[in-house]
Amino acid sequence: MPHPCLPRLLRFAGVVFALVFVTASLPAQIVSYTFSGVTTTNFVEAGAITTEFPLGTPWTAVLAWDTGSSPLYLDGSQGQYRLTSITLTFQGISGDWTTSALPNQASFTQNYLMSGTQDQTQFTSGWGPASLTNQTIADWQPYSINIILTDLTGTAIPSLSPAPTGLDFSDWNPLVANSQLKLYLNNNANRYILGNIQSINVTGSAVPEPSTYAALAGLAVLGVVVIARRRRT
């Protein structure tokens, strides 16, 4: 004769299988990169900002995106996707200066340029001081963080869709002079700080989104409830 708890165990196993299947099929995965280099051009009038951040100032930018996100814009030459975060840090004379994009402001665009003979990926925080957490840098205001990767061989971006699961830097590295940091300092985009890119490192990959953890937590709670009910009977 079957054990009296067997039907409940089978129902529990079915629910477990369903939740595991849903969790495994969740597309949301976060990939993160850290860019670093030093500033090379201060295209701005001399003053507090050039004193605090002279040429050669070290900088670091950390950015991330969801590889399962839908495009914000997509056509035959451009694909735009949301960045989940982007943070820029300058190591100034008197200390670090840091700013980050506010939620739903940052994005990145993959472009086929020059009739497909060039590839470019541009990461941006959005536009205007109101899109950033720290809205002052010395005696100026930050308007936009931009990190540009350019490949003159046109082979770095295999497809504009779906969102990339990573970046193949074998295509970017030989042409590092065409890739840079650009921090805009006014609304006319004619004042800015440029920085070269000396290193790019993967700082996170295939990290489950909160929805994945929520599904797992729900599975655990369900298991506890079923076991508790079984013990009461």
Q: Quote the pLDDT of residue 115.
A: 79
Q: What confidence score (pLDDT) does residue 171 get?
A: 72
* Extents of the domains making up the chain: 37-206
Q: Model-level pTM?
A: 0.77
pLDDT at position 203 is 83
Number of other CB atoms surrounding residue 91 within 10 Å: 14
Mean pLDDT by 10 residues, the chain (233 residues): 52 46 57 96 98 98 97 97 98 98 97 87 97 98 96 88 88 69 98 94 62 47 48 52
Q: How far apart are CA 60 and CA 86, in angstroms?
A: 10
CB 116 within 8 A of CB 103: no
Taking CA 229 as the corner, what is the angle to CA 223 and CA 233, rounded to the nearest 5 degrees?
145
Q: How far apart, in whole angstroms, are the C-alpha atoms of residue 90 and residue 37?
A: 10
